[in-house]
Chain A
């Protein structure tokens, strides 16, 4: 119990609308978030089978247009949410990183499917074991491939997350790079050591090679 620090009043964000923020800022927050959440323009980074289920979600039976998402922007500069649908091999990793960097704030990422979330069934030499090792992810949608209802549930979770953002919390829109001076910084060589049981396949012991 003693581990939970008390929130610092200078920087804390209050989720109680009556507490520290005024009525105008809360209404503005609501308006901005409502606008953002209900007109998310997806950037479909579809690579494999999940892309087909994404297309099925966008088609008439499941209809993503209900959520304001029918305008698929294939240019990252005009999109809000990057939906990574499908497995991402290492050859594609710099591409998705570059595309994420090209998206203007505010931006979110949905990792659709098992392969994008964790590498899925491709624990091999060529596949990134989860795009969260490359870009920050907001919502993970499990499934192989997830049903369109599953993807829609993930999108609704993202919408809920967006509604809970507050303008006074400026840190959420910052792009954080590893800070070498921070106490939490781990140098890359140490990361290699730390990832021994799972990373280096020569010393792999948790399952057969």
Chain B
């Protein structure tokens, strides 16, 4: 059998800057300033493309953070991936941050990486906790499939819905979890129910009954379904991808 090629440049669909080639050789960064410093050139490109949707940017410990308008997130991410001068083909993470200071909004964070240009960008959008704004942002599943589970987890932990996600349901906790969204700051660390109550709830759940709508649309299992689930199915609840 052939051994795998070592750093075979012909294999990937894009060119990686190799050490020794024109361009910079990547090195361990030292002496990074807390604030300020060179920002990611994508900031100017974003401003040129989207104008007012780009609210502000900061550079913290060498990482550039760009605050954008919530409604435009989908377009911005699609452009960042498709445009050859940006080429952020790799989605690292989707997460959210809620601060201990009550007045600060919840921030939804996207970590993007461009392997071709060797850049890292952090996109943020703010969701004010004023009770009038729904905790909803556009999903980037259409841009990167890797956002699938990352957004599901963000929903599970924070209650932030991602509009356009094909199958937004809880992933780490079970779907009927009643205590709330754990990573919110008003959620106590040990949960809202007593330990005895949590155990009772947990043991009352039938481990085999936890199937998603998609799974139980398979005809063979139909007969074993509980009545309310069958109702949901016949009512035409959408199955996910």
What is the interface of chain A, defined by CB distance below 8 A to chain B?
A: 90-91, 93-95, 97-98, 123-126, 128-129, 133-134, 188, 191-192, 195-196, 198-202, 204, 209
Chain B residue, CB-CB nearest to A129: B195
Contact B199 A209 (CB under 8 A): no
The smallest beta-carbon distance between A201 and chain B, in angstroms, is 4
Chain A residue numbers with a CB within 8 Å of B28 are none
Interface residues of B in 173-213 (CB under 8 A from A): 173-174, 179, 182, 187-207
Contact B196 A191 (CB under 8 A): yes
Q: A201 and B199 in contact (CB under 8 A), knowing A91-B174, A126-B173?
A: no
The smallest beta-carbon distance between A157 and chain B, in angstroms, is 27
Contact A90 B190 (CB under 8 A): no
Chain A residue, CB-CB nearest to B190: A201
Chain B residue numbers with a CB within 8 Å of A199 are 194-197
Contact B197 A91 (CB under 8 A): no
Interface residues of B in 67-85 (CB under 8 A from A): none
Q: Provide the bound-state CA to CA distance between A97 and B208, in Å.
A: 13
Q: Provide the bound-state CA to CA distance between A125 and B183, in Å.
A: 11
Of listed A134, A199, A202, A209, residue having the most chain B CB within 10 A: A199
Chain B residue, CB-CB nearest to A94: B207
Interface residues of B in 214-234 (CB under 8 A from A): none
Q: Provide the bound-state CA to CA distance between A173 and B173, in Å.
A: 35
Contact A95 B207 (CB under 8 A): yes
Chain B residue numbers with a CB within 8 Å of A195 are 194-196
Q: A200 and B202 in contact (CB under 8 A), knowing A98-B207, A125-B179?
A: no
The smallest beta-carbon distance between B5 and chain A, in angstroms, is 33
Chain A residue numbers with a CB within 8 Å of B205 are 94
Contact A134 B203 (CB under 8 A): yes
Contact B202 A94 (CB under 8 A): yes
Known pairs A91-B202, A192-B196, A195-B196 / 7 extra A-B pairs, C-beta < 8 Å: A125-B190, A125-B192, A133-B195, A195-B195, A199-B196, A201-B191, A204-B188
Q: A188 and B191 in contact (CB under 8 A), knowing A90-B201, A94-B207, A126-B173?
A: no
Chain A residue numbers with a CB within 8 Å of B198 are 90, 125
User: Which of A128, A134, A196 meets B194, CB within 8 Å?
Assistant: A196
Chain B residue numbers with a CB within 8 Å of A198 are 195
Chain B residue numbers with a CB within 8 Å of A94 are 202-207
Chain A residue numbers with a CB within 8 Å of B196 are 188, 191-192, 195, 199
Contact A209 B189 (CB under 8 A): yes
Contact A202 B207 (CB under 8 A): no
Can you identify 16 A-B contacts, CB atoms within 8 angstroms? A91-B202, A93-B202, A94-B202, A94-B205, A94-B207, A123-B190, A124-B190, A125-B187, A125-B188, A125-B189, A125-B191, A125-B192, A192-B194, A198-B195, A201-B192, A204-B188
Chain B residue numbers with a CB within 8 Å of A133 are 195, 199
The smallest beta-carbon distance between B176 and chain A, in angstroms, is 11
The smallest beta-carbon distance between B140 and chain A, in angstroms, is 27
Chain A residue numbers with a CB within 8 Å of B182 are 125-126
Contact B206 A90 (CB under 8 A): no
Contact A192 B188 (CB under 8 A): no
Chain B residue numbers with a CB within 8 Å of A200 are 193-194
Q: Provide the bound-state CA to CA distance between A90 and B172, in Å.
A: 11
Chain B residue numbers with a CB within 8 Å of A134 are 199, 203
Q: Provide the bound-state CA to CA distance between A48 and B172, in Å.
A: 16
Chain B residue, CB-CB nearest to A191: B196
Chain B residue numbers with a CB within 8 Å of A124 are 189-191
User: Which of B187, B188, B189, B202 meets A90, CB within 8 Å?
Assistant: B202
Q: A91 and B203 in contact (CB under 8 A), knowing A124-B190, A125-B182?
A: no
User: Which of A93, A98, A188, A201 meets B188, CB within 8 Å?
Assistant: A201
